[in-house]
Amino acid sequence: MCLGHFEEAALKFPGLLDSFDPEHAGMHTSQTVDIGIVLEGTVELELDDGATTSLVRGQ
């Protein structure tokens, strides 16, 4: 039996997929604070309200 990625994730991590927003790929709906540091280059950050901002090295 071969399961798809979503089915496999649902079995291995019950409840995890419920926190992802099906209409906005990559966005999640859990109450979290996400932390990251840009080591090199630029990262485009998209917020819950759709606003975007660019982060550069050290931010």
Higher model confidence: residue 44 or residue 20? 44
CB 20 within 8 A of CB 29: yes
Q: How many CB atoms lie within 10 A of CB 54?
A: 10
Q: Summarize pLDDT for 7-42 with one digit per residue, the tens.
A: 888 899 888 888 777 777 777 777 778 888 999 999
Residue 9 is part of which domain span?
Answer: 5-56
Task: Give the count of domains, the chain.
Answer: 1
